[in-house]
């Protein structure tokens, strides 16, 4: 997740062009491809905003592909869209969103075909994904620990915390386990429940959270590793008539509004926008024949009601 761009008009135009359809290819292969299953999720759009703005600034034309209607990672439905784009346009390099290992063979295939491939948000260990040249994103374990520190302090070192995830995957598993490890170490009087799958469909996610509250009357805090978590848990708390300290992911507008109103306590400000921009930097460097570091880590702090203004400005500049 990352930030600050005073080029609102340009970015809005780039976003509108991308959502309307593929960009017109430039001469000489100055084109970059971004492959993102579940393309139109609001969190993913924020990543794309950083990518598209940075592409424009660097003089590249960029195309975003992925299943726009998917509510979970649709790798099978997105790879054919990527293949179609690759067949009609000469791309200098490719970014592939990789939270689901089922897309790793596609990365290997691209590398065999001569493409330099980077990923973002998830940073697999170097050498673990064949063909992957570089990765950018937050330190996921550090982000989970930051959330634990904020939760423990807010709860005053006591209580019970529920943990939910969008799905069981590398990034969310790591964040959840880091959160629990940090709380256990620094706040041993806080009980951390085993993580449960929240999912990505809002009504079902809220139902899951309500059932957790009903089954655990001692829960006083909730940590969600997904961008929908603030909505999920604030809605569940209202339905159950409970007061719950809620920390979840991502500075999309709905989440900022929930923190501002006091319905949620805090957000892990994952550097979504900045990840997209950094991915573009890496792709352009690779296209120019340069060597880049494999790991490119970006910070992710926990923000609360006093910290919101800069993030509203990021959203405004991104046309959201």
- Model pLDDT for residues 121-175, shown as the tens digit of each residue: 988 999 999 999 999 999 999 999 999 999 999 999 999 999 999 999 888 999 9
Q: How many domains does the chain have?
A: 2
Pairing of strands 266-268, 302-303: antiparallel
In a domain, 1, yes or no: no
| pTM tops 0.75, yes or no | no
In a domain, 2, yes or no: no
> How wide is the angle at C-alpha 123 spanned by C-alphas 226 and 285, nearest 5°?
120
Instruction: Give the three-state DSSP class for 250.
Output: coil
Model pLDDT, residue 316:
82
Query: Do 264 and 145 share a structural domain?
Result: yes
Of 28-42, 215-229, 245-259, 298-312, minimum mean pLDDT range = 28-42
Query: Do 250 and 135 share a structural domain?
Result: no
Closest alpha carbon to 169 in 100, 108, 84: 100
In a domain, 134, yes or no: yes
189-224 pLDDT tens trace: 999 999 999 998 999 999 999 999 999 999 999 999
244-299 pLDDT tens trace: 999 999 999 999 999 999 999 999 998 999 999 999 999 999 999 999 999 999 99
Query: Do 291 and 225 share a structural domain?
Result: no
Q: For residue 292, what is the domain's CATH number?
A: 3.40.50.2300
Query: Do 124 and 37 share a structural domain?
Result: yes
Query: Do 288 and 243 share a structural domain?
Result: no
Query: Do 47 and 131 share a structural domain?
Result: yes
Model pLDDT, residue 27:
47
Contacts of 292 (CB under 8 A, 6+ apart): 133, 134, 282, 285, 286
Query: Do 184 and 257 share a structural domain?
Result: yes
Model pLDDT, residue 24:
39
Model pLDDT, residue 99:
84
Which DSSP letter does residue 165 get? E
Q: Which domain holds residue 85?
A: 8-139+271-299+308-317
In a domain, 76, yes or no: yes
Query: Do 168 and 127 share a structural domain?
Result: no
In a domain, 198, yes or no: yes
Give 264's Cβ-side CA count (13 Å radius): 33
Model pLDDT, residue 41:
83
Model pLDDT, residue 21:
36
Query: Do 85 and 55 share a structural domain?
Result: yes
Averaged confidence pLDDT in the chain: 89
Higher-pLDDT residue of 72 and 61 is 61
Decide: 191 and 161 in contact? Cβ < 8 Å. yes
Model pLDDT, residue 29:
67
Query: Do 93 and 38 share a structural domain?
Result: yes
Query: Do 102 and 196 share a structural domain?
Result: no
In a domain, 164, yes or no: yes
In a domain, 36, yes or no: yes
**What mean pLDDT is predicted for residues 48-71?**
92
**What mean pLDDT is predicted for residues 232-243?**
98
> How wide is the angle at C-alpha 55 spanned by C-alphas 50 and 58, nearest 5°?
125
Alpha helices of the chain — where are they, by DSSP H? 8-20, 42-58, 75-88, 104-112, 140-154, 170-186, 202-215, 229-240, 253-261, 272-287, 309-317
In a domain, 81, yes or no: yes
Query: Do 123 and 155 share a structural domain?
Result: no
Higher-pLDDT residue of 315 and 233 is 233
């Amino acid at each position: 997740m990352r930030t600050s761009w005073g080029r609102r008009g340009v970015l809005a135009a780039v976003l509108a062009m991308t959502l309307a359809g593929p960009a017109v290819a430039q001469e000489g292969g100055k084109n970059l491809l971004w492959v993102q299953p579940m393309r139109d999720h609001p969190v993913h759009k924020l990543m794309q905003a950083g990518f598209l703005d940075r592409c424009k600034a660097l003089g590249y034309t960029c195309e975003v592909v992925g299943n726009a209607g998917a509510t979970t990672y649709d790798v099978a439905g997105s790879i054919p869209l990527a293949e179609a784009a690759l067949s009609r346009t000469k791309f200098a390099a490719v970014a592939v969103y990789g939270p689901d290992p089922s897309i790793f063979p596609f990365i290997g295939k691209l590398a065999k075909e001569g493409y330099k491939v980077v990923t973002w948000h998830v940073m697999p260990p170097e050498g673990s994904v064949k063909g992957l040249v570089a990765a950018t994103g937050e330190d996921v374990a550090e982000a989970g620990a930051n959330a634990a520190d904020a939760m423990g302090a807010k709860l005053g070192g006591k209580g019970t915390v529920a943990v939910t995830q969008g799905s069981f995957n590398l990034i969310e598993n790591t964040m959840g386990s880091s959160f629990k490890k940090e709380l256990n170490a620094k706040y041993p009087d806080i009980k951390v429940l085993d993580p449960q799958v929240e999912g990505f469909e809002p009504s079902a996610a809220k139902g899951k959270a309500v059932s957790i509250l009903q089954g655990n009357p001692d829960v006083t805090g909730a940590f969600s590793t997904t961008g929908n978590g603030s909505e999920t848990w604030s809605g569940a708390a209202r339905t159950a008539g409970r007061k719950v300290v809620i920390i979840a992911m991502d500075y999309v507008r709905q989440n900022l509004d929930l923190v501002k109103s006091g319905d949620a306590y805090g957000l892990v400000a994952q550097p979504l926008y900045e990840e997209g921009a950094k991915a573009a930097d890496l792709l352009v460097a690779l296209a120019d024949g340069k060597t880049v570091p494999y790991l490119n880590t970006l910070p992710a702090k926990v923000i609360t009601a006093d910290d919101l203004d800069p993030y509203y400005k990021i959203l405004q500049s991104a046309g959201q």
